[in-house]
Amino acid sequence: MKKRYLRAVLLFLGIAGIVAYSLYPSEKEEECLEGEASPYGDAQVEGTSFKCFLPDEGANCGMAFYFDDYENWNRMDSLVLNLQSSENFKELIVQILTFDPDNWGAKKPALKELHLNSETKRYSIAMQHFYTPDYWFEQQRARNTHNVKRFSSIMGLELYSGWKNPISKPLELKIQSICVEGLTSAPFVFLVIYIAILIIIAISVRIK
């Protein structure tokens, strides 16, 4: 009788834990880029902004952030950019550089095109929308594993002009913030530990 009562209590506690987890508000985890940017191509970089002209269709310009240590963005869901661009700036390429152990440690790009507005705007890119272009696999003579992306070893982030920008017109971009965001996994971890403890207690009671 006591064992049956205890099992009922454990079942109730398990259900209560799952309900509490489902009602618990999601908490966002955020990491923002800091530090100085480096020029990319023929660009004049001042702080977190750059200016440039494109002399021909094959040219590009922008800025880059290179990390001293690899960043792990595997648990992040999106890259969020608050940007202000000039009227002529139509397209921006956002490129994440990753360390690729499968191809002799080469820098593997994962990029996404952004269509810009001249006003200040918040852009959010889901990490799953970044892709590695086919030409990179051809240049590296690497096998395209269906665009498998790894964000556990981030080497840097590059922002540069896309292919839809006008030639010989001033391009300017000001960055207010660049952050990666994701949902924290702490509540789920606590739930797993809580359920595991209840299961262990239930098993020990059954053995006795």
Q: What is the pLDDT of residues 64-108, one digit of tens each?
A: 999 989 999 988 999 999 999 999 999 999 999 998 777 666 788
Kindly state the tokens that stand for 181. Answer: 């965001």
- Asked if 148 contacts 42 with a C-beta cutoff of 8 angstroms, the reply is no
Find, among 185, 181, 179, the residue nearest to 32 by Cα: 179
- Asked if 7 contacts 203 with a C-beta cutoff of 8 angstroms, the reply is no
List the beta strands (DSSP E) in 3-48.
28-32, 38-41, 44-46
pLDDT tens, position by position, 134-147: 888 888 887 776 55
Q: What DSSP state is assigned to residue 87?
A: T
pLDDT tens, position by position, 3-13: 666 666 666 66
Is a pLDDT exceeding 60 seen at residue 208?
no
Q: From CA 95, how far away is CA 107, in angstroms rounded?
A: 11
pTM above 0.85, yes or no: no
Q: From CA 52, how far away is CA 162, in angstroms rounded?
A: 13
Q: How far apart are the first and last CA of the chain?
A: 13
Mean of pLDDT values over 152-177: 92
